[in-house]
Amino acid sequence: MSTELKLKIDSLTYGPYGIGRDNRRVILVPLTVPGDEAGVRIVAEKRNYAIGELSHLLKPSPLRQAPPCPYFERCGGCPWQQIEYEGQLAAKEKIVVDALHRIGRLDGFQILPILRSPQEYGYRRRIRLQSDGRKRLGFYRALSHELIEIDSCLIADPQVDRHLSVAREWIKGLRTKLRFVEIIMSDGEQQTVLVGRSEERFFQEDDALCAPFVSGQKEIKGVIISGPGWHRSWGRTKIHIQSQDDLIMEVDGNIFTQVNREGNNLLVGEILQWGEFDHQDRVLELYSGTGNLSLPAARRAGEIVAVDGNPQSIRNGKENGRLNRIENIRWLCSDVPKAVRRLVTDQEQFSKIILNPPRSGAKGLEHELASLNADKILYVSCNPPTLARDLSALSKKGYRLTRVRPIDLFPHTFHVEVLSEMVR
């Protein structure tokens, strides 16, 4: 039987844990809040730390709140819901600064106050629900693959949330086994798309189910299912995205888009302000996706070169350029490192670079990026550790980190978007 410790929680990890210390040993405890004094049992010993579980609260933190979600203690989707929102924002700022100092060995930069999400709940215009062999829908328990079935989600937009039961009924009739289902809504109109992903083969009998399903729905306009080497769709499968400058984008439902519409507008606004783009700028955006940043920047810059490795994203970007009468974007469908090397070989030069990589970051690109001679790099990241690593590498190539702005696109989770500016 493990010994119970009395532990004071000092801070939060980039993850679902609070951090306490016992005789200089770090102990990570889920469901805790900075300022909690708690009884904690050790459940796992690691080389440099231990993992505990909360036994009981001795003195709750002033930042602690009652989570409104009935699934909170089981579902791993919102591990910070027990923390008042102001406390979440402060913790995210600290996580970003700590990563830049500790991992990146960076200093001398300005950390700007985090931009809060305009909505704490109901902000997600798309949610991904896991499915299992029993055709249940829900989220995984924290740090496991145990599915917690849900009937409602408080962080989902109400239009998305009310279609959860419809999605559940849809998959019950399918023979094709799905690994997950996404519910995605359009901005500004009552239109929703369901997207399913399978790791197995498609059963042709499901054609006869999906077509009438879509035609019989009022708001669900399209359905997409894909798997290894196959793709099926029924109905209208594009969604509308409203962005800065009254831009309207039509995007395939199965392509990545930011989940927080109002938060995304904050991000785009910061990019435009920091970029100070004008007609003399030649801008490179790497990992451009469907043009969330490229399209508004192109209205100000002289030329944009947008690079992404997903052909569907590039195709959507081109279509949205035509839709919005934006003609100064050159879209390149290519593996990003290969494209950057080719741009260097062709001796292309850019005044500014927008870098918006996936969570894994842009490791190894620093030398080629420096060779493109941009005066400014704007780096957008959803992963503070890989951001710090990459900014550190760029700092060794003559760039200096000047300012950083965290933006909260994901309330009640530990995730945070970060915009950083490097100049030389």
What is the Cα–Cα distance from 145 to 160, expressed in whole angstroms? 24
Q: Which amino acid is at 169?
A: E
Q: Is the pLDDT of residue 67 over 70?
A: yes
Q: Residue 60 and residue 334: Cα distance in Å, rounded?
A: 52
On the question of pLDDT at 181 being above 60, the answer is yes
pLDDT by residue (tens digit) across 199-252?
999 999 999 999 999 999 989 999 999 999 999 999 999 999 988 778 999 999
Task: Tell me what pLDDT residue 142 has.
Answer: 83
Which distant-in-sequence residues (6+ apart) come within 8 Å of 385 by Cβ? 14, 99, 103
**pLDDT tens across 36-59, in order?**
999 999 999 998 999 999 999 999
Question: Domains in the chain, ordered, with CATH?
Answer: 1-64 (2.40.50.140), 90-119+260-423 (3.40.50.150), 126-240 (2.40.50.1070)
Instruction: Give the percent of the chain with pLDDT over 90.
Output: 94
pLDDT of residue 80: 97
**pLDDT above 60 for 72:** yes
**Using an 8 Å Cβ cutoff, are 374 and 348 in contact?**
no
Amino acid found at 21 = R
**Which pLDDT tens digit goes with each residue over 285-317?**
999 999 999 999 999 999 999 999 999 999 999
Q: Show Cβ contacts of residue 212 under 8 Å, excluding neighbours closer than 6 positions.
A: none
pTM listed for this prediction: 0.94
Residue 2 pLDDT level (bands cut at 50, 70, 90): low
Q: How far is CA 111 from CA 1, 20, 107, 142, 376, in A?
A: 46, 26, 10, 31, 17
Which amino acid is present at 423? Answer: V
pLDDT at 126: 97
Give the CA diameter of the chain. 69
Q: What percent of the chain has pLDDT over 70?
A: 100
Instruction: Write the pLDDT tens digit of every residue in 363-408.
Output: 999 999 999 999 999 999 999 999 999 999 999 999 999 999 999 9
> Does the pLDDT value for residue 1 go beyond 60?
no
Region 419-424 average pLDDT: 97
| Catalytic positions, written as ranges | 382
For the chain, give the secondary structure using H, E and C. CCCEEEEEEEEECCCCEEEEEECCEEEEEECCCCCCEEEEEEEEECCCEEEEEEEEEEECCCCECCCCCCCCCCECCCCCCCECHHHHHHHHHHHHHHHHHHCCCCCCCEECCCECCCCCCCCECEEEEEECCCCCEEEEECCCCCEEECCCCCCECHHHHCCHHHHHHHHHCCCCCCCEEEEEECCCCCCEEEEEECCCCCCHHHHHHHHHHHHCCCCEEEEEEEECCEEEEEECCEEEEECHHHCEEEEECCCCCCCEHHHHHHHHHHHHHHHCCCCCCEEEEECCCCCCCHHHHHCCCCEEEEEECCHHHHHHHHHHHHHCCCCCEEEEECCHHHHHHHHHHCCCCCCEEEECCCCCCCCCCHHHHHHCCCCEEEEEECCHHHHHHHHHHHHCCCCEEEEEEEECCCCCCCCCEEEEEEEC
pLDDT band at 279 (very low <50, low <70, confident <90, very high): very high
Residue 159 has pLDDT above 60, yes or no: yes
**How large is the average pLDDT for residues 277-285?**
98
